[in-house]
């Protein structure tokens, strides 16, 4: 039986929180100062974290099926 339930749930929730914070920072930055390099960086980080979240979910599914 896989005993990684607690750490995996924490990791997934942390990734979702990080994505939310990056996107909310990007939105606030656009509203305050317009489009600048920080907005592109925040959107890039959020996109990377979304792809990493999907990859992590796929790995967890593989581990559960074994």
Q: pLDDT value at position 2?
A: 56
Residue 43 has which token pair? 């959107």
Residue-wise pLDDT tens digits, 8-53: 788 889 989 999 999 999 999 998 888 888 889 999 999 999 999 8
End-to-end Cα spacing for the chain: 9
Q: pLDDT value at position 51?
A: 93
CA angle 7/63/52 to nearest 5° reads: 65
- Of 3, 7, 25, 27, which Cα lies nearest the Cα of 15? 7
Where does the pLDDT of residue 1 fall: very low under 50, low under 70, confident under 90, or very high at 90 and above? very low
pTM (whole model) above 0.85:
no
């Amino acid at each position: 039986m896989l005993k990684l339930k607690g750490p995996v749930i924490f990791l997934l929730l942390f990734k979702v929180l990080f994505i939310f914070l990056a996107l909310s920072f990007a939105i606030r930055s656009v509203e305050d100062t317009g489009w600048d390099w920080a907005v592109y960086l925040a959107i890039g980080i959020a996109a990377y974290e979304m792809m990493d979240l999907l990859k992590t979910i796929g790995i967890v599914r593989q581990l559960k099926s074994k």
